[in-house]
């Protein structure tokens, strides 16, 4: 039994924008196929102009999402509705702009615009994939704990490890101290994406402890305890790093999507300018 309280942006109002996009695509495709421009299809015919204007308008609308997202005070509509439209109309714009140009692509400013739009949309599609894939990982790894709580528990485990290590040799103490002070979560992009880094001091400490043998009951008990504490810490770290990786990936694509979209906007202005003044 499951109660559906929430509705994903993809399913917004019963896939309203998906339906609109598909309908528009079908109608325009038929129109494109039926239309005979009388010469090679291109953006300069009345048909091409019409599609050019529609596509440019759509690109501006898609870019407006960046502004809309930050307008917290105004508007009664839900941002998820806007995102839904942003996603489906974004895919549509690839096709409409192809109809505009009559599928002419080359190596020039005008084609650059199309490629920029294409890559913006592709990065966005990857974003949608992230938005579907990662939320459950974000939740699953935390298991009800907040990041702060996980960090607190980690430092608690460090204290425990150092306490237990007191009764063991200097070498172990050095390794444990390094595990407590040198273990890092995140940092560079590469680090943020690594779930089980080979050079993690905690991992190394665990390997070292498990490879050490001591004599005497007390020492053995301490060693076993130390191994248990470090194993717990390693597991917690793995979870935290999985979380960090997911949280990074869920944002990382935006570092491509937004610069690309700005590039597309600039190229759009250049394209329109070029068309009207130099054609």
Partner 1 sequence: MAADYKIAIIGSGPGGLSAAGHAAELNISHVLIEKAAHLSDTLFKFQKGKFVMSTPDVLPLRSPMPFEAGKREDILGNWDDTAAALKVNVKLSTEVIGVEGEKGNFTIKLGDGTSVTAEAVILGIGLQGNLNKLRVPGADLPHIQYQLDDPDEYELERIIVIGAGDAAIENAVALSVRNTVYVLNRGEDFARAKPANEALITSAIDAGRIQPIYKANTLSAGEGTLTVETPEGEVTIECDRVIARMGASPPRKFVESCGVVFPSDARNALPECTEQYESNVAGLYIVGALGGYPLIKQAINQGYEAVEYILGNAVEPADGPILKSQISILNTDDVEGFLKRVRESIPIFSNINSLMLREMMVESTVHKFAPGDVVFEKNDYTNSFYVVLEGAVAVVLDENDHEKRIVIGLGNYFGEMGLISGRRRTATIKAESNCVLIEIPRRTMIKVRGNSPDVRQALDQEAAIRQIQTYIAPDVPREDLIGIAKSSEIKSFKLGEVLFNEGDEADSLHLIRKGSVSVSKRLGGRSVVLNYVASGNYVGEMGLVSNAPRSATVTAAVACETIQIDGAVFKNLMASNLKLKASVESKFKDRITQNERASQAGTGGGILQFLLEQGVSEATDVLLIDEALCIGCDNCETACAETHEGISRLDREAGPTYQTMHIPTSCRHCENPHCMTDCPPDAIKRAPSGEVFIEDSCIGCGNCARSCPYGVIQLASPENKKAGILSRLFAKSDASEKAPKKAVKCDMCRDIEGGPSCVRACPTGAAVRVAPQALMQLQGKAS
- Assign 92 to helix, strand or coil: helix
131 binds partner 1 (CB under 8 A): yes
Binding segment toward partner 1, per CB under 8 A, in 39-47, 56-64, 66-74, 196-204: 66-74
Would you count residue 134 as binding partner 1 (CB under 8 A)?
yes
What DSSP string runs through 174-226?
HHHHHHHHH-----SHHHHH-SS-TT-HHHHHHHHHHT----SHHHHHHHHHH
x-marked contacts with partner 1 along 26-55 as a string, rule CB under 8 A: ------------------------------
- Does residue number 14 form part of the binding site for partner 1 (CB under 8 A)? no
Instruction: Tell whether residue 8 is a contact of partner 1 (CB under 8 A).
Output: yes
Tell me if 139 contacts partner 1 by CB under 8 A.
yes
75 binds partner 1 (CB under 8 A): yes
Q: What is the C-alpha separation between 231 and 9, in angstroms, rounded?
A: 40
Do 75 and 68 touch, CB atoms closer than 8 A?
A: yes
129 contributes a contact to partner 1 by CB under 8 A: no
Q: 113 vs 55, 92, 109, 124, 272, CA distance in Å?
A: 12, 16, 6, 16, 10
From 97-105, 143-151, 202-210, 262-270, give the range in contact with partner 1 by CB under 8 A. 143-151
Q: Does residue 66 belong to the site contacting partner 1 (CB under 8 A)?
A: no
- Smallest distance from partner 1 to CB 148, Å: 8
**CA gap 123, 87 in Å, rounded:** 11
* Nearest of 94, 86, 103 to residue 55 by alpha carbon: 94
Candidate ranges 43-51, 68-76, 106-114, 202-210; the one touching partner 1 (CB under 8 A): 68-76
* Residue whose entry in the numeric block shows the structure tokens 């702060």: 148
* Residue 78 in the binding site for partner 1 (CB under 8 A): yes
Cα distances from 82 to residues 13, 93, 133, in angstroms, run 12, 16, 21
Element (H, E) at 89: helix 79-101
CA angle 244, 262, 189 (to 5 degrees): 20
Site for partner 1 in 81-100 (CB under 8 A): 82-83
DSSP symbol at 77: S
Q: Select the residue interacting with partner 1 from 98, 151, 228, 247 (CB under 8 A).
A: 247
**3 touches partner 1 (CB under 8 A):** yes
Stretch that binds partner 1, among 6-14, 25-33, 109-117, 265-273 (CB under 8 A): 6-14
Which of 115/131 has CB closer to partner 1?
131
Contact 246, 141 (CB under 8 A): yes
Instruction: Provide, rounded to whole angstroms, the least separation between the CB of residue 133 and partner 1.
Output: 10
Q: Per CB under 8 A, does 147 bind partner 1?
A: yes
Site for partner 1 in 205-244 (CB under 8 A): none
Residues forming the site for partner 1 (CB under 8 A):
1, 3, 5-9, 12, 69, 72-80, 82-83, 130-131, 134-136, 138-139, 144, 146-147, 247, 250-251
């Amino acid at each position: 039994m499951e109660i559906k309280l929430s509705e994903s942006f993809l399913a917004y109002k019963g896939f309203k924008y998906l339906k609109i996009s598909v309908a528009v695509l079908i109608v325009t495709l038929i129109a494109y196929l039926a239309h005979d421009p009388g010469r090679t299809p291109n953006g300069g015919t009345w048909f091409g102009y019409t599609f050019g204007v529609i596509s440019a308008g759509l690109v501006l609308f898609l870019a407006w999402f960046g502004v809309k997202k930050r307008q917290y005070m105004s508007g009664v509509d839900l941002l998820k509705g806007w995102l839904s439209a942003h996603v489906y109309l974004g895919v549509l714009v690839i096709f409409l702009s192809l109809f505009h140009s009559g599928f002419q692509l080359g190596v020039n400013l005008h084609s650059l615009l199309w490629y920029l739009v294409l890559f913006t949309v592709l990065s966005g599609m990857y974003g949608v994939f992230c938005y579907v894939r990662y939320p459950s990982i974000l939740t699953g790894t935390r298991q009800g704990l907040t990041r702060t709580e996980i960090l607190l528990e980690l430092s608690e485990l460090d204290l425990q490890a150092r306490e237990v290590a007191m009764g063991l040799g200097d070498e172990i103490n050095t390794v444990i101290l390094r595990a407590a002070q040198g273990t890092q979560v995140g940092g560079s992009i590469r680090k943020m994406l690594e779930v089980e880094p080979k050079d993690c001091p905690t991992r190394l400490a665990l390997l070292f402890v498990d490879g050490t043998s001591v004599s005497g009951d007390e020492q053995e008990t301490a060693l076993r305890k130390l191994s248990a504490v470090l194993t717990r810490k390693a597991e917690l770290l793995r979870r935290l790093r999985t979380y960090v990786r997911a949280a990074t990936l869920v944002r990382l694509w935006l570092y491509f999507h937004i610069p690309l979209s700005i590039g597309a906007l600039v190229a759009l202005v250049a394209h329109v300018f070029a068309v009207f003044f130099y054609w």
